[in-house]
Amino acid sequence: MSRRKIQFFTSEEMTYDKYNEDKLGKDLFRVLSEDQKMFGEGCGNSVPPSEITIENIFDSFDNMDDIDAEIYDHNIDKISYYKNLNKIFKNMGVEAYIDDDTIEYVKHMYNPIIALDGVIISMGKLPDVFELLDAIEEDYKIF
């Protein structure tokens, strides 16, 4: 069996305050803030963000014999981040292009992005290792 390739694309998430300053009016921001209080903050996991990071998940996959793991952090090397994510979009037939003009939107709406063998399997959610392993084994996407 050939080795699988998993790629993690991450960046610092844009805060609601920054998004408000750049894109939203005060009234809409207030509504978003109220919703955030009602439903809680975080990345969609019940595990506190301080206990699970994309780096932890990457490390788990990086140590597996049958998977090649790569991580691209926009804050460390944005050129590799753009190049590799745009390559995935092109291979998938997605008409999207990530660059300096679109990255803030991507960071706010879709961070992190996880791809398996050149196909995005998760966006905007930080799944745990077991959820990712199930998705890989059962061939489904996590959104």
pLDDT digits (tens, 9 = 90+) for 30-61: 444 444 443 334 444 444 444 678 888 999 99
Q: Which regions of the chain are under pLDDT 50?
A: 13-50
Instruction: Tell me the C-alpha distance between 52 and 8, whole Å.
Output: 14
User: What per-residue confidence (pLDDT) applies to 107?
Assistant: 87
Q: Record the pTM.
A: 0.73
User: What per-residue confidence (pLDDT) applies to 2?
Assistant: 79
- CB atoms under 10 Å from CB of 23, counted, come to 13
User: What per-residue confidence (pLDDT) applies to 128?
Assistant: 86
User: What per-residue confidence (pLDDT) applies to 100?
Assistant: 94
